[in-house]
Amino acid sequence: MKFMLDAGHGYSTPGKRTPDGMREYEFNREAARYAREELKKYENVEVYFSHSDERDVPLTERTNKGNSLNVDAFVSIHANAFGSGGWNNAEGIETYAYSSQPSRSTALAKAIQRQMVASTKRLDRGVKFANFHVLRETTMTAVLVECGFMTNREEAALLKTDSYRKTCGQAIGRAIASYYGLTLKTTSGLYKVQVGAFKKKENADELVKQLKKAGFSPFIYFDK
Ligand SMILES: [Zn+2]
């Protein structure tokens, strides 16, 4: 399956920051990176980014890219803000689906909202509907998740931490994986069974003789 993760905005987008200066993009890009890391643990998954560290990619370019790659889902990651610049008490997590086609993306929005609230333990503001460009102009399932308020002191402090970014990214990745029923990759490696370790070679030889007698095919491996 193909997924597009969309970290909202860019480094130099005006506004879009906490009252004490963290840029929203700093959070969004890291959460997207962790979400991709999580999704890559599953089989047959391709993950694309719509955003860039070099510029604030225009919304139309983002949705065109998702549409032309024909991804299965487009997930836009943001941090919220309320009011006109200062700190306030608005808080929590909310996930959006497109208002005119609520059936298209509501189930994925619910899955992400549920997992985000469970993982972050922040206030559950629920699934909402909006006429956002990234929801309206995408031809596939598309949702937008707001991972906490930059204008809330406590949540702004969390949004700055690597651990909260990771928690959000993993929650988003896991929710997508479980919604689409993805299968975890089996870890590669060897499962070894050893039956003895000896300082003297003759003791090893003796065990090999006994194992051969018992029908096994043992071998000696010398490890310094
Ligand atoms: Zn945003």
Ligand 1 mean position to 131 CA, how many Å? 14
pLDDT of 162: 98
pLDDT of 195: 85
Instruction: Tell me the domain boundaries of the chain.
Output: 2-179, 190-224
Residue range 2-179 forms a domain whose CATH class is alpha beta
SS (H, E, C) 16-71: CECCCCCEHHHHHHHHHHHHHHHHCCECCCEEEECCCCCCCCCHHHHHHHHHHHCC
Q: Is 146 a catalytic residue?
A: yes
Ligand 1 mean position to 32 CA, how many Å? 13
pLDDT of 85: 78
pLDDT of 215: 86
Ligand 1 mean position to 40 CA, how many Å? 25
pLDDT means per 10 residues, the chain with 224 residues, are 98 94 97 98 97 98 98 97 93 93 88 98 97 94 97 98 98 97 85 84 91 87 78
pLDDT of 220: 85
Catalytic residue among 26, 38, 94, 146: 146
Ligand 1 mean position to 167 CA, how many Å? 18
pLDDT of 11: 96
